[in-house]
Structures are given as structure tokens and as C-alpha cells.
């Protein structure tokens, strides 16, 4: 094997691009800076991805795939659906723990007017994955009936994304925790 670690330069590019996009968005993803971080020249990026749009599409796809895997793992590891709902905000907390970054998809949702369509599709997939998981879990937990599961799932997703955004703006992860607690106290999320 030429590459025993399995970490090829394509993955290194995706990793670095993800972190940059989580802090600066699609527009702020500078290919020269990205290339420097990976140790190559900007022109060399085009050997791995046909364009910035394609690179960002790959980044966003891998992002929701990882999110889906993480939610699956949470489901396996936590049999009680109510407990899973309590843990859900922890998945959005990770980005803040990671140098005050935010969800790639929230950032790019703001940028939707300037986003290539292929990127936007992957962003929408991320939202779907989260809302579907939440809806399923809400139903299983008996928090809402089947008529309201999807609506409530959407509401929780939007509220959690908003909390992450605000906490990032203040670089204050404690604000995120406070907001989640307020959501629980108000009844949007199941109380601890």
C-alpha cells in the first residue's frame, strides 16, 4: 500500500476546508489560504476538485454524512428516546467547543443566495437528517403525536441552530448552555 494511513490529500483538503467554512462560510473560504494550510499551492487544489463549488459540495456532503452517523450512534448508545432528546443539543455544542466554530450548514444557509445549487442541496440534506431524526425521536418519546412531530422537530432544530449562532457571536459557550436550559424550561425540549 502506498498510503497505509488511508488519509490521502483529498481528505486533508476536506478536513481543512470544513474547519475554514465553519468559521468563515463559503464566501470566506479562501483557496490560497486553504492550499497553504494543506501544504500545496492553490492551483494544485484543482487537481483534486474541479472547482470551489465542487470542493464545497464534497465538504457539505461529508458533513451531513458524519452528522447522520453521529445521530445513529447516539440512538444506539442511548435507548431512552427522551434521554436522546436531552443529548441532542450536545451535537451542536461540539462546533462551539472546537474554537468557537459553528455549523457549516447554518452559515451556508445564511449565504444561500450566493451558494452553488449543488452545495445548497447538501445543506438541505443536513437539515433533513436532523429534522427526521428529531421527529422520529419525539414520536418515540411520546412528546408529541404524529401530527405535530415534524413541526416540533423543525422548531427544535431552528432554535438550537439559533442558540449556536448567538453563542458563537459572543464567543460564549456558557450562553449556549443557558439557552438550551431555557428551551427546556419553556417546554420546547424535555426537561432534565
Partner DNA sequence: ACCTGAACACCGTTCAAGT
Residue in 32, 77, 94, 170 binding DNA, rule: CB under 7 A: 32
Question: Using CB under 7 A, which residues numbered 34 to 53 contact DNA?
Answer: 35, 40-44, 46-48, 50-53
Closest CA to 106 of 183, 167, 177: 167
State the nearest-atom distance from the C-beta of 15 to DNA, in Å.
Answer: 15
Q: Is 62 a residue that touches a copy of itself (CB under 8 A)?
A: no
Q: Is 110 a residue that touches a copy of itself (CB under 8 A)?
A: yes
Q: How many residues bind a copy of itself (CB under 8 A)?
A: 46
Note whether 122 and 57 are within 8 A (CB).
yes
Per-residue mark of binding to a copy of itself, 133-152 (x: CB under 8 A): ---------------x--xx
d(CA 77, CA 80): 9
**52 versus 93: smaller Cβ distance to DNA:** 52
**88 versus 107: smaller Cβ distance to DNA:** 107
Which residues fall within 8 angstroms of residue 138, CB to CB, at 6 or more apart?
81, 85, 144, 149, 152, 153, 156
Measured CA to CA in angstroms, residue 9 lies from 13, 14, 48, 121 at distances of 6, 9, 8, 25
Amino acid at each position: 500500500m502506498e498510503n497505509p494511513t488511508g488519509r490521502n490529500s483529498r481528505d486533508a483538503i476536506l478536513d481543512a476546508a470544513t474547519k475554514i467554512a465553519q468559521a468563515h462560510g463559503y464566501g470566506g473560504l479562501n483557496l490560497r489560504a486553504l492550499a497553504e494550510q494543506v501544504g500545496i499551492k492553490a492551483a494544485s487544489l484543482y487537481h483534486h476538485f474541479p472547482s470551489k463549488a465542487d470542493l464545497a459540495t464534497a465538504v457539505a456532503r461529508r458533513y451531513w454524512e458524519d452528522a447522520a452517523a453521529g445521530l445513529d450512534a447516539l440512538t444506539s448508545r442511548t435507548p431512552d428516546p427522551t434521554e436522546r432528546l436531552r443529548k441532542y443539543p450536545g451535537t451542536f455544542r461540539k462546533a462551539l467547543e472546537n474554537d468557537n466554530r459553528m455549523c457549516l450548514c447554518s452559515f451556508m444557509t445564511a449565504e444561500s443566495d450566493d451558494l452553488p445549487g449543488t452545495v445548497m442541496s447538501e445543506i438541505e440534506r443536513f437539515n433533513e437528517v436532523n429534522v427526521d431524526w428529531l421527529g422520529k425521536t419525539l414520536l418515540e418519546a411520546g412528546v408529541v403525536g404524529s401530527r405535530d412531530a415534524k413541526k416540533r422537530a423543525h422548531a427544535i432544530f431552528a432554535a438550537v441552530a439559533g442558540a449556536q449562532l448567538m453563542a458563537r457571536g459572543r464567543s460564549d459557550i456558557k450562553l449556549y448552555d443557558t439557552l438550551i436550559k431555557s428551551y427546556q424550561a419553556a417546554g420546547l425540549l424535555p426537561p432534565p
